[in-house]
Amino acid sequence: MRVSVGVKCLLRRRGYWQSQSRGMKHYTVKDGKSWNSLLCMYSSHGLLERVFQCYASCINSAHLPDQFTFAITLSACAKLENVELGRAVHCCVIKRGLESSSFCQGALIHLYAKCHSLTCARTIFDAASSPHFDTVSWTALISGYVQGGLPEEALHIFDKMRNSGPGGYPIPDQVAFVTVLNAYISLGKLDDACQWFEQMQIPTRNVVAWNVMISGHAKRGHYKEAVAFFHQMSKHGVKSSRSTLASVLSAIASLATLDHGLLVHAQAIKQGFESSIYVASSLINMYGKCEMLDAARQVFDAIPHKNTIVWNTMLGVYSQNGYLSNVMELFLDMTAWGVHLDEFTYTSILSSCACFEYLEIGRQLHSTIIKKRFTSNLCINNALIDMYAKAGALKEASKQFEHMTHRDHISWNAIVVGYVQEEEETGAFSLFRRMNLHGIVPDEVSLASILSACGNVKVLAAGQQFHCLSVKLGLETNLFAGSSLIDMYSKCGAIQDACKIYSSMPERSVVSMNALIAGYALKNTKEAINILHEMQILGLKPSEITFASLIDVCKGYPKVILGMQIHCATVKRGLLCGSEFLGTSLLGMYMDSQRLADANILFAEFSNLKSTIMWTALISGHTQNQCCDEALNLYQEMRDNNILPDQATFVTVLRACALLSSLHDGREIHSLIFHTGFDLDELTCSALVDMYAKCGDVKSAVQVFEELAIKKDVISWNSMIVGFAKNGYAESALKVFDEMTQSCITPDDVTFLGVLTACSHAGWVYEGRQIFDVMVNYYGIEPRVDHYACMVDLLGRWGFLKEAEEFIDKLEVEPSAMIWANLLGACRIHGDEKRGQRAAKKLIKLEPQNSSPYVLLSNMYAASGNWDEARSLRRTMIQKDIQKMPGCSWIVVGQKTNLFVVGDISHPSYDEISQALKHLTALIKDSRFQDDGIAQVG
């Protein structure tokens, strides 16, 4: 037979044609059987190039290739996945009329399946008169479909194989069994896979079959079953491979069962696999998930030749466990050792920056990513969005998101979650709609986030629509989406609907029960405790969030007693040890219940974990309980322990300075704020403005306000307006108010309270009336008691007592003590005894033990000469044991605040102070001094 032009050209191009004479010159081949024997020998020894040389010699000789010649050559093409040469040989098969040969058909199916030309393989398969191929042919086609991502078609072929009739069903070998197992696993049909696995005879269950079952169950989230298969495999005496150990370690990592992990590690050492990159990486990951970071590092350090995968695994372990400093240290080691940094390296580091809000480090990494030309990488772009969003830099997260040319569901989830976490619910809703318009089907993450947004803003109608969507997508009983539905209904006050969702969930979990506990805790603490008991009965372990939800509602007597019991439970369970989250919740509970001693004892127990958050919680608690001196002392102690304050710390301690009017301390804190860069933070600067204003240093307050580059928050404007108002700068307060409205900042209730206070101090009654009207009718702000009291003060202080009284009488709410006190004060100024008596009676009724109405009315009677009524009120106070709060004043000298109370002689320098006062009094009474304080000279 003369060789075809196509085959000849291919062989010449590959170099087989020229080399065949050299390769075969030592052999004399007389017949076809000899050619086939030679081909078979080369193929069995893996000398595939020699197979093609021999084939070229064969077809160029006088001998005609037979079905076996073609089958062996096609098998070599399949092994090399050389479909081009295989097609050329296929042409020769057709020309020789051997296309119906079972040997050639089987070899061609194997070739095309191995080379992913499944259409060609299927065409040959279907063209056969009867499917009487051997197991290899069936297996080749089934395997081809599995590898090509078409497991359904693979199982269809398998069913056809099993139903091929008597005598036509070849007995599956080990490869066939494993191939079918792969098809079942790929489709998630784990039960069918298990049944097929059971049909295998125990001796035929080789390590590959066990690996398929272990890795298949692990990848599908059936971790316990994966570990069980591993134990069965060991009992049957099948020796583990690297793949076995890596797969079972992955399952153990997800379960965080350290005992099993240690056994597998021992087996890896026994088999000499501990230095294998594949096994070692899995060991590092397992120890990381079990929070055994030292063990993970020991495995890492023991690997002699580390590749990028191992470095990335160790980075991921540090990142997942919150060890940012270790992440950065390892990253620097990677660069120093010249390790190639890939997308997984950057995503691990960016994940750490996101978790700890290390925004500046994240920005530097972003610059490096741009330089390394990773900007088109989807995983890295998603990690950047996540980092910026979690760090609160939504503007940068949005910019990164919009610049992406290709987005997947992770991209959308990252930006939606970021907006929800930053309480930008409107933006989250908008992005969710865009995601749907782009054809991205919501998953449990995006649904859970958007349901959380609905709960945050209490939009029940929208939440119900998303509930319908979750039902449509089959996610209503998903752990994350279902728990978010419970949370949403609870926050919207529909606790019964939350219970229905909870009841419909297929299994109880700590997450879903926590959501229900949080919902009940605010309104029905008893029921919340019952759910906690149910959780324990079901064998579920309450988490930190479980107890924190209950602790948050145990404030004030008698609920604090329940809170103390929960405190004991957390200690007993070992949850409090090292838990900043629970520690902060308990500190807040004790502080809000005015149990400062208990709070201090608790704080002292956290000897190794006194973070910025916990110090801030303690300082804030003392400030809100009017223990501002102690708050400043704690702040100084915090600094002595080298704990750097954050935004919340500065805001809290500045408030303490403001309440004490401690300008000296405030200025020292301002200096640290400047050096730590928080002078660029709007909230911190607002607290500075407030502190300076309350300390009377209006000039410094104005300077801080004017130097603030960004004034997007209404709080910063309010601080300046209230600061001016309290210090009598009414015109300046109104000027700032005008600037605020022109800057498109919407004023809130605090803004108007400040402006009304300014009008009251300046006597601008007409302007005050207008501003109150604008607040109610233009901005739609519901006035608080403070606003009503301020209006009464404005009208009454400047003589409009009748209008002030009519204003009170027209109120739709019951007038508070503050309102009547302001009217009474105005009546005393203007000597209106009639209205003063009415106001005093109302005030006494509301606050029987308050001395103010008695004192004010008594002074009013005395001023008008009505001494009998004045004395009568004083006698009533004595009879009712109503004590007037003594006046007090204080002054800061050096680092010490000196407090003086009327009648108190306990100050250690009382004698010197008393002598100084007598001397000053004598000077004041001296006739030689005039009103201007200048002494007359002789």
Report pLDDT for 261: 92
pTM of the model: 0.66
Q: What is the mean pLDDT of residues 274-288?
A: 91
Q: Give the residue, 836 or 287, on which the prediction is more confident.
A: 287
- Within 8 A by CB and 6+ apart from 458, the residues are 491, 492, 493
Which of the pair, 20 or 468, is modelled with greater confidence? Answer: 468
DSSP 855-879: HHHHHHHHHTT-HHHHHHHHHHHHH
**C-alpha dist (Å) from residue 654 to 460, 624, 722:** 39, 12, 16
pLDDT tens, position by position, 375-401: 888 999 999 999 999 888 899 999 999
Per-residue pLDDT, 353: 81
Mean pLDDT of 179-195: 77
Tell me if 10 sits within 8 A of 85, measured CB to CB: yes
Measure the CA–CA gap between 54 and 34, rounded to whole angstroms: 11
Sign of CA dihedral 399, 400, 404, 408: negative
**Rounded-to-integer distance, Cα 332 and Cα 801, Å:** 74
> What is the per-residue pLDDT for 610?
67
Per-residue pLDDT, averaged over 502-518, amounts to: 87
Place of tokens 């519901």: 782
pLDDT reading at 37 higher than 70:
yes
- Whether 248 has a pLDDT exceeding 50, the answer reads yes
3-state class (DSSP) for residue 853:
helix
| DSSP structure class, residue 354 | H
Taking the C-alpha atoms of residue 564 and residue 597, their distance in angstroms, rounded to an integer, is 13
What is residue 608's predicted lDDT score, i.e. its pLDDT? 61
**368 or 160, higher pLDDT:** 368
Model pLDDT, residue 41? 82
| HEC sequence for 371-420 | HCCCCCCHHHHHHHHHHHHHCCCHHHHHHHHHHCCCCCHHHHHHHHHHHH
d(CA 617, CA 631) in angstroms, rounded, equals 10
8 A C-beta contact, residue 662 and residue 892: yes
Q: What percent of the chain has pLDDT over 90?
A: 39
Query: Residue 377, by phi and psi: left (phi above 0), alpha (psi -120 to 50) or beta?
Result: beta
pLDDT at 484 over 70: yes
Does the pLDDT of residue 589 top 90, yes or no? yes
- 3-state helix, strand, coil split of the chain in percent (to 5) is 70, 0, 30
Residue 636 has pLDDT above 90, yes or no: yes
Counting other chains too, the contacts that 483-487 makes at CB distance below 8 Å and 24 or more residues apart are 483/448, 483/509, 483/511, 483/512, 483/514, 483/515, 484/447, 484/448, 484/449, 484/451, 484/452, 484/455, 484/515, 485/451, 486/512, 486/515, 486/516, 486/519, 487/451, 487/452, 487/455, 487/515, 487/518, 487/519
Task: Identify the pLDDT of residue 623.
Answer: 94
519 or 144, higher pLDDT: 519
Q: Which two tokens stand for residue 171?
A: 């007995």
Spatial CB neighbours of 211, under 8 Å, sequence gap ≥ 6:
241, 243, 244, 247
Are 754 and 725 in contact by the 8 Å Cβ rule? The answer is yes
**Are the C-beta atoms of 763 and 798 separated by less than 8 Å?**
yes
- Model confidence at 165, in pLDDT bands (50, 70, 90)? low
What is the C-alpha to C-alpha distance for residues 480 and 512, in angstroms, rounded to an integer? 8
Higher pLDDT, 937 or 922: 922
Check residue 654 and give its pLDDT.
Answer: 96
C-alpha closest to that of 851 among 888, 880, 831: 880
Burial class (CB in 10 A: 0-12, 13-18, 19+), 411: buried
Rounded-to-10 torsion of CA 629, 630, 634, 640: 60
Average pLDDT rounded to a whole number, residues 901-909 = 80
Give the C-alpha separation, 598 to 604, whole Å.
10
The phi-psi region of residue 81 (left if phi > 0; otherwise alpha if psi is between -120 and 50; otherwise beta) is left
Query: What letter would DSSP give residue 441?
Result: P
Question: Does the pLDDT at position 171 exceed 70?
Answer: no
**Average pLDDT score over residue span 682-697:** 93
pLDDT for position 71 = 81
| pLDDT(873) > 80 | no
d(CA 836, CA 820): 9
Q: Are 196 and 155 in contact (CB under 8 A)?
A: no
DSSP string covering 885-902, please? PPPEEEEEETTEEEEEET
Q: Which of the two residues, 833 and 776, has the higher pLDDT score?
A: 776
**Strand boundaries in 88-171, DSSP class E:** none
User: What tokens does 586 get?
Assistant: 């308990």
Residues 891, 696: Cα–Cα separation, whole Å = 14
State the Cα–Cα distance between residues 515 and 491, nearest whole angstrom: 10
Q: What pLDDT is stored for residue 877 in this prediction? A: 77
Query: Measured between alpha carbons, how far is 445 from 381 in angstroms, rounded to an integer?
Result: 18
| Burial label, 428 (beta-carbon count in 10 A; 0-12, 13-18, 19+) | buried
Which tokens go with 733? Answer: 């307060």
Kindly write down the DSSP assignment for every residue of 232-256, as one continuous string.
Answer: HHHHTTPPP-HHHHHHHHHHHHHHT
Task: Report, as an integer, the average pLDDT of 646-669.
Answer: 92
Is the per-residue pLDDT at 371 higher than 70? yes
Yes or no: say if 858 and 884 are a contact pair by the CB < 8 Å rule. no
DSSP secondary-structure letter at 727?
Answer: T
Average pLDDT over residues 350-368: 81
> In Å, what is the CA distance from 228 to each residue of 64, 251, 252, 721, 821?
57, 10, 11, 69, 76
Provide φ and ψ at 893, rounded to 5°.
-120, 115
Tokens 């001796």 found at:
203
**pLDDT of res. 374:** 86
Highest mean pLDDT among 64-73, 586-595, 834-843, 924-933: 586-595
The pLDDT, as a whole number, for residue 935 is 47
pLDDT of 47 strictly over 90: no
- Sequence-distant (6+) residues with CB within 8 A of 559 are 525, 553
Q: Are 663 and 630 in contact (CB under 8 A)?
A: no
Q: Which two tokens stand for residue 243?
A: 């793949």
User: In the predicted model, is pLDDT for residue 566 greater than 70?
Assistant: yes
Please give the average per-residue pLDDT across 630-636, as a whole number.
Answer: 93
What are the Cα distances from residue 728, in Å, to 232, 663, 828?
84, 19, 21
Confidence of residue 297 (pLDDT cuts 50, 70, 90): very high
Contact 613, 652 (CB under 8 A): no
Question: Coil, strand, or helix at residue 907?
Answer: coil
Distances (CA, A) of 823 to 216, 670, 788, 794, 851: 79, 40, 11, 10, 16
Cross-strand bridge partners of residue 889: 900
pLDDT-based confidence at residue 280 (cuts at 50, 70, 90): very high
Question: Residues near 895 by Cβ (< 8 Å), separated by ≥ 6?
Answer: none
Q: State the burial class of residue 22 (Cβ atoms within 10 Å of its Cβ: 0-12, 13-18, 19+).
A: exposed
What is the residue-averaged pLDDT of the chain?
Answer: 84
Rounded Cα–Cα distance for residues 581 and 414 (Å): 24
Arithmetic mean of pLDDT, 179-208: 77
**pLDDT of the residue at 573:** 86
More confident residue, 114 or 408: 408
Is the bond leading into 558 cis (omega within 30 degrees of zero)?
yes
Element housing 412 (H / E): helix 409-421
The pLDDT of 746-767, averaged and rounded, is 92
More confident residue, 300 or 201: 300
If one compares 33 and 631, the residue with the highest pLDDT of the two is 631
- C-alpha–C-alpha distance, residues 585 and 550, integer Å: 10
* Cα separation, 673 vs 707, whole angstroms: 14
* pLDDT mean over 498-504: 90
Q: What are the DSSP calls for 746-807, one per residue?
A: PP-HHHHHHHHHHHHHHT-HHHHHHHHHIIIIIS-PPP-HHHHHHHHHHHHHTT-HHHHHHH
Q: Tell me which DSSP letter residue 201 carries.
A: -
Residues above pLDDT 70, as percent of the chain: 89
Res. 26: pLDDT tops 50: no
Catalogue the E-assigned strands of 316-463: none
Helix/strand/coil for 935: strand
CB 428 within 8 A of CB 389: no
Going by C-alpha positions, the residue among 50, 54, 4 that lies closest to residue 34 is 54
Question: What was the pLDDT predicted at 605?
Answer: 84
Least confident piece of the model among 149-153, 171-175, 660-664, 851-855? 171-175
Average pLDDT over residues 805-827: 90
Please check the confidence at residue 276 and state whether its pLDDT lies above 80: yes
Distances (CA, A) of 678 to 255, 684, 714: 43, 7, 18
Q: Which residue has the higher pLDDT, 866 or 788?
A: 788
What per-residue confidence (pLDDT) applies to 900? 81
Question: Do residues 576 and 548 lie in contact, with contact meaning Cβ atoms separated by under 8 Å?
Answer: no
Distance CA 491, CA 916 (A): 62
Give the residue carrying structure tokens 């002292």. Answer: 604
Q: How much is the average pLDDT of 466-485?
A: 89
